[in-house]
Amino acid sequence: MTVLIGQLFTGVSIGAVLLLIALGLALTFGQMGVINMAHGEFIMAGAYTTYVLQQVITAAGWSLLIALPVAFVVAGAMGVLLEYLLIRRLYARPLDTLLVTWGVSLILQQLARDIFGSPNVQTRAPQLLTGNIALPGGITVANNRLFILALAAAAVAALTVGLRVTPLGRRIRAVVQNRDLAAVSGIPTARVDRMTFFIGSGLAGVAGVALTLLGPIGPTMGTNLIIDAFLVVVVGGIGQLKGTVIVAFALGVLQATGEYLTTLSVAKVMVFIAIVAFLQWRPQGMFTLRTRSLA
């Protein structure tokens, strides 16, 4: 029983990381249909932001707290720049955004290598987040994992509320559901696109800050994460945050269970097979917006 709950928590914490890195994608890929391969590099930018801030602010707790909004703005600004320079020309052909942004990601990786050097760097975690909490029944829960879980929950809550309540959120949803009608109704769609991209990319930056608590920061960290994040959004379904949330945790638990029963590599393959099997059942992902489109 203890083992089971321990594994469950491992799964949930993997899921929280997945959710955090997939959340921004759920907005830019799920809502806007743009396949941003540079999303992983925005995560990296968030992580390096934490690292840079820590060179200036030595108290690890403060630097982490300050890094969260700063990384959001840094990554968000990168996203807006990318949207303005390239992506807005490509809304009509989403598959090509994949290749273009992959090129951008190559450039950003090399830039990181030239600025920070190829070897990975490390940040110091604040004292508060290094220990474990012992729960009754002999289960220990790592503080940093708990923090990431809370951060993911907060991000989901903020995004949900933001999309539902704020005027910008309403506009985003309107543009996603029917771009032409939204434009006719006087919504500045180009500006809304840019804001959506700012928020989506900013969330990648926040994910980057969280990832500094788990491991080293390096120029290629984004590449390894991006595929998992895309899979979460694909399986979750387009345009639905709840799908992203459920699938992130489901894949996390599946991964943890598989890892426990076999090995890490076999578990990865298991997850892939599970995804293909799932898409047999629901090819459009877990939740979809109903449309009458023929495509």
Residues 3, 4, 62, 103: which binds other proteins (CB under 8 A)?
A: 103
Nearer to other proteins, 89 or 164 (CB): 89
Burial of 129 (0-12, 13-18, 19+ CB in 10 A): middle
Type of residue at 44: M
Q: Which of 1, 137, 180, 294 binds other proteins (CB under 8 A)?
A: 294
Q: Determine which helix (DSSP H) or strand (DSSP E) holds 69, and give its type and residue range.
A: helix 60-85
Stretch that binds other proteins, among 96-104, 125-133, 186-194, 203-211 (CB under 8 A): 96-104
Binding status of residue 114 toward other proteins by CB under 8 A? yes
**Which window, 144-152, 153-161, 184-192, 222-230, contacts other proteins (CB under 8 A)?**
222-230
Under rule CB under 8 A, residue 290 binds other proteins:
no
Judged by CB under 8 A, the residue of 26, 32, 100, 213 near other proteins is 100
Rounded to a whole number of angstroms, the minimum distance from the CB of residue 158 to other proteins is: 26
- Distance between CA atoms of residues 172 and 192, nearest Å: 6
Tell me which of 120, 166, 177, 265 binds other proteins, using CB under 8 A. Answer: 265
Q: Is 98 in the site for other proteins (CB under 8 A)?
A: yes
Q: Is 295 in the site for other proteins (CB under 8 A)?
A: yes
Task: Output the six-digit token pair for 70.
Answer: 């700063």
d(CA 285, CA 94): 18
* Distance, CA of 50 to CA of 195 (rounded, Å): 23
- Burial status of residue 187 (CB atoms within 10 A of its CB: 0-12, 13-18, 19 or more): middle
Is residue 122 part of the contact set for other proteins (CB under 8 A)? no
Q: How long is the chain?
A: 295
For 238, which DSSP code? T
- Cα 284 to the chain's mean position, in Å? 20
Whether residue 56 contacts residue 185, with contact meaning beta carbons closer than 8 Å, is answered with: no
Site for other proteins in 65-94 (CB under 8 A): 86, 89-90, 92-94
* Of 29-37, 170-178, 207-215, 249-257: span binding other proteins (CB under 8 A): 29-37
Helix, strand, coil percent content, the chain, rounded in steps of 5: 75, 5, 20
Q: What is the dihedral of CA 236, 240, 242, 244, to 10 degrees?
A: 40
| 180 contributes a contact to other proteins by CB under 8 A | no
Contacts of 99 (CB under 8 A, 6+ apart): none
227 binds other proteins (CB under 8 A): yes
Tell me the residue type at 191: R
Phi, psi (degrees; rounded to nearest 5) at 131: -85, -165
Output 206 or 251, the one with its CB closest to other proteins: 251
Give the one residue of 3, 4, 99, 214 binding other proteins; rule: CB under 8 A: 99
Among 223, 242, 274, 288, interactor with other proteins by CB under 8 A = 223
- Please identify, using beta-carbon distances, which residue of 206 and 271 lies nearer to other proteins: 271
Binding site for other proteins (CB under 8 A): 29, 33, 35, 86, 89-90, 92-96, 98-100, 102-107, 109-110, 113-114, 223, 227, 230-231, 234, 263-266, 268-269, 271-272, 275-276, 279-280, 283, 294-295
